[in-house]
Amino acid sequence: MFVTSFFHPIRLWNERHHENTLSNAPLQSPLTPLQRHRTHSLPRRLRAQVAPAAAPVVASKGKVALVALGCPKNTVDAEVFLGDLSQHGYEIVDETAGADVIVVNTCAFIEDAQRESVHAILEVSKAKQSGARALIVTGCLAQRYAGELATELPEVDAVVGFESYAQLPQHIDALLSRPAGAAPSRVQVGEVSVPFRVEYLRHRLGARHTAYLRVAEGCDHRCTFCAIPRWRGRFRSKPYDQLLWEARYLVEHTGVRELCLIAEDTNMYGMDWGPQGDPRRLADLLRELDRTLVPFGLRWIRLLYCYPSYFSDDLIDAIAECPSVVKYVDMPLQHASDAVLRRMQRPSAAHHQRILQALRQRIPQVALRSTFICGTPGETAADHRQLVQYMRRERFARAGFFVYSTEDGTPMADMGARVPRPVQEARRDELVSLQQRVQEEMARALMYTEVDVMIDAVEDGHCVGRTPWDAPEIDGQVHLLQDRFAPGDVIRARVVGVSGSDLLCNAV
Spell out the per-residue pLDDT of the chain, length 508, in tens.
233 333 444 344 344 433 333 333 332 333 222 233 333 223 333 333 444 444 444 557 899 999 989 889 889 999 999 999 999 999 999 888 889 999 999 998 888 888 999 999 998 888 888 788 899 999 999 988 888 888 888 889 999 988 888 889 998 998 888 776 665 556 666 555 555 666 778 898 889 999 999 999 999 999 999 988 888 888 999 999 999 999 999 999 999 999 999 999 999 999 998 877 777 899 999 999 999 999 999 999 999 999 998 889 999 999 999 999 999 999 999 999 999 999 999 999 999 999 999 999 999 899 999 999 999 999 999 999 999 999 999 999 999 999 999 988 899 999 988 999 999 999 999 999 999 999 999 999 999 999 999 999 998 889 999 999 999 999 999 999 999 999 999 999 999 999 999 999 999 9
- CA–CA separation, 154 and 173 (whole Å): 20
Contact predicate 361/400, CB 8 Å: no
Burial of 44 (0-12, 13-18, 19+ CB in 10 A): exposed
Query: Which pLDDT value is given to residue 276?
Result: 73
Sign of the CA dihedral running 222, 370, 490, 499: positive
Read off φ and ψ for residue 464, nearest 5 degrees: -115, 130
Nearest to 156 by CA among 148, 164, 166, 168: 148
Q: Which residues contact 66 (CB under 8 A, 6 or more apart)?
A: 48, 49, 50, 78, 82, 92, 102, 103, 104, 105, 205
- Centre a 10 Å sphere on the Cβ of residue 479 and count the other Cβ atoms it contains: 16
- CA–CA separation, 98 and 47 (whole Å): 11
Burial of 196 (0-12, 13-18, 19+ CB in 10 A): middle
- The conformation of residue 206, written as its DSSP 8-state character, comes to S
- 396 alpha-carbon distance from chain centroid: 20
- CA–CA separation, 168 and 182 (whole Å): 19
- CA–CA separation, 414 and 412 (whole Å): 5
Please list the residues that pair with 478 across neighbouring strands. Answer: 465, 503
Query: Which pLDDT value is given to residue 368?
Result: 98
Beta strands 367-374 and 325-330 are parallel
Alpha helices in 46-133 (DSSP H): 72-87, 111-125
Query: Which pLDDT value is given to residue 206?
Result: 86
Beta strands 187-188 and 236-237 are unpaired
- CA–CA separation, 499 and 508 (whole Å): 20
Nearest to 370 by CA among 385, 384, 386, 391: 391
SS3 for 220-266 is CCCCCCCCHHHHHCCCEECCHHHHHHHHHHHHHHHCCCEEEEECCCH
Query: Which pLDDT value is given to residue 32?
Result: 29
Query: Which pLDDT value is given to residue 507?
Result: 96
- CA–CA separation, 311 and 356 (whole Å): 10
Sort residue 266 into left (φ over 0), alpha (ψ -120 to 50) or beta: alpha
Angle between helices 168-177 and 72-87 (to 10 degrees): 60
Contact predicate 318/283, CB 8 Å: yes
* Domains detected in the chain: 9-188 (3.40.50.12160), 210-444 (3.80.30.20), 450-507 (2.40.50.140)
- CA–CA separation, 92 and 98 (whole Å): 11
Write the CA distances from 457 to 53, 156, 436, 478, 483, integer angstroms.
19, 36, 25, 11, 9
The full DSSP string for 17-40 is: TSSS-GGGSPP--SS-TT---S--
- CA–CA separation, 497 and 117 (whole Å): 38
Beta strands 450-459 and 490-499 are antiparallel
- Centre a 10 Å sphere on the Cβ of residue 454 and count the other Cβ atoms it contains: 25
- CA–CA separation, 351 and 457 (whole Å): 40
Nearest to 75 by CA among 473, 406, 480, 401: 473
